[in-house]
A and B are shown apart, each in its own frame.
Chain A
Amino acid sequence: MKRFLSAAFFFVVLLFLWQAFFRAKIWSPVLLPSPLQVANYLKGAIEDGTLGHATVITMRRLLIGYFIGIVVGLPLGLLIARWNLLRDTLGTTALGLQTLPSVCWVPLALLWFGQTEAAMLFVVVMGTLWSVVIATETGVRNVPPIYRRAALTMGSKRLHIWLTVILPASLPFIVSGMKQGWAFAWRSLMAAEIFVTILTGFGLGQLLHYGRELSAMDQVIAIMLVIVVIGLLADKIFFSPIEKFLHRRWGTSQA
């Protein structure tokens, strides 16, 4: 409760500062709208459904792409860790592509798929995939061999060992890879949506883009806030509980 109150206090102070800057008229109101104007835009956008619609479209692209990235990346990482031939070939490829900022996939995706949902999905998948592959492979390689030996003596074999020993043992690595993949996917999707208009649906990035075209700063700031909140929620609702569980089980942190 005390932590909640101090956090709430902090954000209230932040709002007051914003309002104070607005009142001081250092910048034109076109460049710095008041918190109230931003709130008004948000209210309007929620009421006429633009915001909800755009959020659904963006989240759908993100979640489907992210899901594909993990479903493909996890087994791929395991396979690469299992066979040295795959490691030297696909593993090196994955390592190289992981260093490529995922925004760089946008031009290629547009040429390959045109201004379609497929292009958006492709960008998200590329953002997720390589991080998950590399993290899974690293995780598997860091599993102490003694776990495998212990499992072998208890009668565990091939696939069973992979599913019940090697996979859970590399979980801390895999989760941090998934988190990185999420961050990459989210950033590259936003970049793609700002770059290109996809006629099948206007996402948050597109709203942000049109805010700029119309010089509607209240819209720009409001959408940015929404994007920040989505990022925070993803962390608090999805990743934090998993990480807390891992820390508690492995004893890697006091918290």
Chain B
Amino acid sequence: MFRHRTGSVTEELQLVPPSKLAIDDVSKTFQAATGKVLALDRVNLQVNEGEFVCLVGPSGCGKTTLLNIIAGLEKPDSGSVRADGKPVTSPGRDRLVMFQEPALFPWLDVFGNVLFGLKLKPNLTNKDRRDVAKYYLELVGLTRFEHANIHELSGGMKQRAALARALAPNPRVLLMDEPFAALDALTREQLYGDLQRIWKERKKTIVFVTHNVREAACLGERVLLFSPHPGRIQEEFIVDLPRPRDINSVDLAGYATKIIRSLRKFSEEQREDGR
């Protein structure tokens, strides 16, 4: 390793090795109006370096809670999360989150938003930061809109900007919480393509939460089906299809049907149990 310690754009844009995530026996309870809810019940999950994993399940199954725990935004009651062997205790920019609402800062323009995380990285000159931000805006196709105000963007453009902002500090893990749920179908399909391309180009470990089974089958190498009350991983599916995948392809529909069948079967069993 003969690199300089001071950063440069080329160095900053170099691929960082994606993280390996180890989630061991994680449990979490919430105090709801109706009493205690076991949001996560001893969940175990390994995510390999550079893997694209989708967590799918009905709302209230704890998948978002698990994502927040991996992000370090919430603490588990018991169990542990480790990223590359190091325990996760607080949020950190090696694990960036993309939320369902874009969560872009309205007091900054698009460029300022992408720059926000970069400004928190030491060892970069301001020019480097600008160049890096420009690179990611181009990657998501927003170069023309870099000085637009947030409210001027369409829903899809907002999520592109949020994606650029999450990618810019070059995290090892990208945590995505139903990022495309509020978009129209056409925009969504475009973003599926973009996300697959970016995942391939930037080599990130991605944990993607969704309640859309087809979306999960389209994006994930592995799809984990969550069941609610208590939140558990019910079943695991390996999606072995070439990329880029088209959400409308027949092969993909086959996988989606399999997952949906399992989801139905389980919710019926739960109903019979009188839950």
**Chain B residues touching A, majority SS:** loop
Taking A149-B73, A149-B97, A251-B149 as contacts, is the C-beta distance between A155 and B117 under 8 angstroms? yes
Q: Which of A144, A151, A153 has the most CB of B within 10 A?
A: A153
CA distance A171 to B116 in the complex (A): 18
Q: Is B152 an interface residue (CB 8 A)?
A: yes
Q: Is A154 an interface residue (CB 8 A)?
A: yes
Q: Is B92 an interface residue (CB 8 A)?
A: yes
Whose C-beta in chain B lies nearest to the C-beta of A149?
B73
* B105 close to A154 (CB less than 8 A): no
Q: Is A141 an interface residue (CB 8 A)?
A: no
CA distance A13 to B120 in the complex (A): 59
CA distance A48 to B165 in the complex (A): 61
* A153 close to B73 (CB less than 8 A): yes
Q: Is A146 an interface residue (CB 8 A)?
A: yes
> Which of A147, A152, A171 sits near B73, CB closer than 8 Å?
A152
CA distance A224 to B49 in the complex (A): 74
> Which of A147, A160, A249, A251 sits near B103, CB closer than 8 Å?
A147
Minimum CB–CB distance from B71 to chain A (whole Å) comes to 6
**Which parts of A131-186 form the interface with B (CB within 8 Å)?**
144, 146-147, 149-156, 160, 164-165, 168-169, 171
Determine the chain B residues whose CB is within 8 A of the CB of A152 once the complex forms: 73, 91
* A171 close to B92 (CB less than 8 A): no
Whose C-beta in chain A lies nearest to the C-beta of B90?
A152
CA distance A153 to B165 in the complex (A): 11
CA distance A153 to B98 in the complex (A): 10
Interface size on A, residues (CB 8 A): 21
Taking A249-B149, A251-B151 as contacts, is the C-beta distance between A153 and B107 under 8 angstroms? no
* A149 close to B103 (CB less than 8 A): yes
Taking A146-B103, A168-B105, A169-B105 as contacts, is the C-beta distance between A154 and B117 under 8 angstroms? yes
* B152 close to A251 (CB less than 8 A): yes
* A250 close to B93 (CB less than 8 A): no
Interface string of B103-117 (1 = CB under 8 A from A): 101111100000011
Determine the chain A residues whose CB is within 8 A of the CB of B232 once the complex forms: none
CA distance A155 to B106 in the complex (A): 19
Q: Is A248 an interface residue (CB 8 A)?
A: yes
* B106 close to A153 (CB less than 8 A): no
CA distance A126 to B222 in the complex (A): 63
* B105 close to A165 (CB less than 8 A): yes
Determine the chain B residues whose CB is within 8 A of the CB of A147 once the complex forms: 103, 105
Minimum CB–CB distance from B175 to chain A (whole Å) comes to 8
> Which of A146, A160, A168, A169 sits near B99, CB closer than 8 Å?
A146
* B71 close to A153 (CB less than 8 A): yes
A sample of 10 cross-chain residue pairs with beta-carbon separation below 8 angstroms, ordered by A number, consists of: A147-B103, A147-B105, A150-B97, A153-B95, A154-B117, A155-B91, A156-B116, A168-B108, A250-B107, A250-B149
Q: Which residues of B contact A (CB under 8 A)?
A: 71-73, 91-93, 95-97, 99, 101, 103, 105-109, 116-117, 120-121, 149-152, 165, 169
A-B pairs, 3 with minimum CB distance: A251-B151, A154-B117, A155-B93
Q: Which residues of A contact B (CB under 8 A)?
A: 144, 146-147, 149-156, 160, 164-165, 168-169, 171, 248-251
